[in-house]
């Protein structure tokens, strides 16, 4: 071997080593996916546009105190909608609403009418007159009571099991709801379950008035209450007529009375709620597909951008920022739009990016879209709804590198995402209890009711400050969220490229009604 040849071999060896080191360095850079060997170039490009830092930037605004918890309706919700539209505009999505990126709904609502208000409780010789500013109420028609017997019943009292249908007709019921910010973890979850079980039994018993105790009087104006198409209040957990009372004297009377016994007699007058109209907006943009045969079919990527707003009473932090629920889903929709926007050629099918108002008030925005679809339901082949994809500190233990999907085996979308997860080293699984139970508790339900294969993908079902004021953007696991959004991007991309649209699982009886809805919108 000559010296020249030896020199050449050394140079080649050094060059090879340099290439290996360079590849490793690129692989290890933030934003790079270490498991991309099985992905094609288009998929690799798509995933590389999803960044933890970008997600953090968006969410630090969406979940900021400035937006005051994004209640429906509120100025904070409107600010969030404008921000989302601005990001869609930046990416170059095509606006498809009735007003640019906005699908506008003129929504019926009510507010309190204080004219002629009077309310008092009498027990033996004690008379407690309650002032209007110590009260909040929600009613459908004028109330007039004259000595109506009112019973105290705790929401965890075993006696609720004895409440028969109509057993409280002509009577009032007074109780104290659980305070979610005073409870954590499993204790909070148990309290919520017990409370909703209690409400179900009380509704069946049909009291003439449902009264809730509030320990601290609100220092903010009464909230606007949204109505559904039947003129009923949409707020979850609300029984009408309902009155919340903050008067300290009544609280003392309540505390001195045992559950299951008569608290006193209620007399008074409350005027019918005033009816108003508010404007609410879904935010919608689309990337048109590139395939002449498939571009008129649509995959929806959705999340709700509202949350609970402001806590009425108390000191300290009173803002329900909703960073994980569902600021994380909202900014993921933005980030996914940013990732798909630059692709060339574009996906074969069209992708619709949409954020809904009013999920916390009863799936309002998604329900409105289901009744007023911008794109034909018969051409909408899937909805991937994103909810709570940012927190990994699940009450059941850390959820890093995992994702769960509601109704995972209801359609073949589940297996598609499981395969995408395998390619990226992410476990996509069906939670043995929550996967089916939560299918109807997020915005996918409104699309599934129209026959569209629709699921919600998330990371943590429950975490320490779910629906609490502590759900803030600093608690998000952004690096894991980046991985989850890459999983979502890959799953969506593969659905858009497949000439065969997702289908409901005909062998699963839980999917039967959705399959029937699909058949109704796809007559042969």
Query: Is pLDDT at 28 greater than 50 in this prediction?
Result: no
60 and 176 together in one domain: no
187 and 287 together in one domain: no
Q: How many domains does the chain have?
A: 2
pLDDT over 90 percentage in the chain:
77
Q: Does residue 13 sit within a domain?
A: no
Query: Is pLDDT at 275 greater than 60 in this prediction?
Result: yes
366 and 446 together in one domain: yes
Query: Is pLDDT at 38 greater than 90 in this prediction?
Result: no
Q: Quick one: pLDDT at residue 186?
A: 76
Query: Is pLDDT at 15 greater than 50 in this prediction?
Result: no
For residues 432-458, average pLDDT: 97
pLDDT over 70 percentage in the chain:
91
67-85 burial code (b ≥16 CB/10 A, e <16): bbbbbbbbebbbbbbebbb
Q: Quick one: pLDDT at residue 238?
A: 66
pLDDT band at 36 (very low <50, low <70, confident <90, very high): low
Query: Is pLDDT at 24 greater than 50 in this prediction?
Result: no
Q: Does residue 158 sit within a domain?
A: yes
List of residues 6+ apart from 509 with CB closer than 8 A? none
431 and 299 together in one domain: yes
88 and 177 together in one domain: no
* Helix or strand run (H / E) with residue 368: helix 364-371
Query: Is pLDDT at 258 greater than 80 in this prediction?
Result: yes
Please state, in angstroms and rounded to a whole number, the distance separating the CA atoms of residues 326 and 274.
Answer: 31
494 and 371 together in one domain: yes
- The domain that holds 171 is classified in CATH as 3.50.30.30
421 and 305 together in one domain: yes
Q: Does residue 25 sit within a domain?
A: no
pLDDT band at 310 (very low <50, low <70, confident <90, very high): very high
Q: Please give the residue range of the domain that contains residue 268.
A: 113-272
CA of residue 244 relative to chain centroid, distance: 26
pTM of the predicted structure, to 2 decimals: 0.81
140 and 199 together in one domain: yes
Tell me which of 256, 272, 288 is where a domain ends: 272
Q: Quick one: pLDDT at residue 240?
A: 77
Q: Does residue 327 sit within a domain?
A: yes
**Structure token digits, residue 240:** 């009408």
For residues 61-76, average pLDDT: 97
243 and 223 together in one domain: yes
- The domain that holds 354 is classified in CATH as 3.40.630.10
Q: Quick one: pLDDT at residue 118?
A: 95
Tell me which of 241, 257, 272 is where a domain ends: 272
235 and 384 together in one domain: no
Tell me which of 218, 245, 272 is where a domain ends: 272
For residues 175-182, average pLDDT: 86
Q: Quick one: pLDDT at residue 61?
A: 98
Q: Quick one: pLDDT at residue 229?
A: 53
Q: Quick one: pLDDT at residue 85?
A: 98
Mean pLDDT of the chain, nearest integer: 90
131 and 221 together in one domain: yes
Q: Does residue 174 sit within a domain?
A: yes
Please state, in angstroms and rounded to a whole number, the distance separating the CA atoms of residues 411 and 505.
Answer: 5
Q: Quick one: pLDDT at residue 237?
A: 53
304 and 391 together in one domain: yes
Higher pLDDT, 51 or 274: 51
CA separation, residue 118 to residues 268, 289, 403 (Å)? 5, 61, 53
């Amino acid at each position: 071997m000559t010296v020249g040849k030896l020199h050449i071999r050394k140079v080649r060896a050094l060059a090879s080593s340099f290439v290996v080191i360079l590849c490793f360095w690129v692989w290890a850079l933030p934003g790079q996916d270490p498991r991309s060997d099985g992905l094609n170039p288009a998929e690799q490009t798509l995933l590389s546009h999803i960044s933890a830092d970008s997600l953090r930037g968006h969410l630090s605004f969406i979940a900021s105190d400035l937006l005051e918890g994004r209640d429906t309706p509120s100025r904070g919700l409107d600010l969030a909608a404008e921000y989302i539209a601005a990001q869609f505009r930046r990416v170059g999505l095509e606006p498809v609403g009735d007003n640019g990126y906005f699908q506008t709904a003129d929504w019926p609502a009510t507010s309190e009418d204080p004219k002629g208000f009077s309310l008092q409780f009498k027990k033996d010789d004690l008379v407690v007159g309650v002032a209007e500013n110590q009260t909040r109420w929600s009613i459908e028609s004028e109330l007039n009571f004259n000595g109506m017997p009112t019973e105290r019943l705790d929401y965890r009292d075993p006696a609720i099991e004895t409440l028969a249908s109509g057993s409280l007709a002509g009577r009032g019921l007074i109780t104290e709801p659980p305070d979610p910010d005073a409870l954590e973890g499993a204790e909070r979850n148990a309290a919520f379950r017990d409370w909703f079980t209690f409400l179900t039994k009380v509704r069946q018993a049909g009291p003439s008035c449902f009264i809730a105790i509030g320990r601290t009087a609100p220092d903010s104006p009464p909230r606007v209450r949204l109505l559904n198409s039947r003129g009923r209040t949409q707020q979850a957990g609300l029984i009408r007529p309902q009155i919340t009372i903050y008067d300290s004297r009544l609280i003392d009377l309540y505390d001195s009375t045992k559950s299951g016994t008569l608290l006193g007699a209620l007399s008074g007058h409350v005027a019918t709620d005033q009816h108003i109209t508010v404007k609410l907006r879904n935010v919608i943009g689309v990337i048109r597909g590139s395939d002449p045969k498939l571009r008129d079919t649509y995959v929806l990527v959705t999340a709700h951008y509202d949350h609970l707003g402001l806590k009425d009473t108390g000191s300290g932090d009173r803002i329900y920022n909703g960073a994980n629920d569902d600021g994380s889903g909202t900014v993921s929709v933005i980030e996914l739009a940013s990732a798909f926007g630059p692709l060339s050629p574009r996906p074969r099918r069209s992708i619709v990016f949409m954020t809904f108002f009013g999920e916390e008030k009863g799936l309002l925005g998604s329900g409105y879209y289901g009744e007023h679809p911008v794109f034909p339901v018969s051409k909408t082949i899937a909805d991937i709804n994103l909810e709570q994809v940012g927190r990994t500190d699940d009450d059941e233990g850390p959820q890093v590198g995992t994702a769960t999907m509601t109704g995972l085996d209801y359609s073949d979308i589940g297996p598609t995402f499981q395969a995408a997860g395998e390619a990226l080293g992410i476990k996509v699984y069906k939670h043995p209890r929550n996967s089916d139970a939560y299918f109807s508790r997020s915005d996918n339900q409104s699309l599934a009711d129209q026959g569209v294969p629709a699921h919600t993908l998330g990371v943590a079902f429950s975490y320490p400050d779910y629906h609490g004021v502590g759900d803030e953007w600093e608690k998000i696991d952004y690096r894991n969220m980046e991985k989850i959004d890459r999983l979502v991007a890959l799953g969506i991309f593969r659905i858009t490229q497949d000439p065969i649209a997702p289908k409901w699982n005909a062998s699963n009886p839980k999917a039967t009604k959705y399959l029937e809805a699909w058949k109704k919108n796809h007559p042969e």
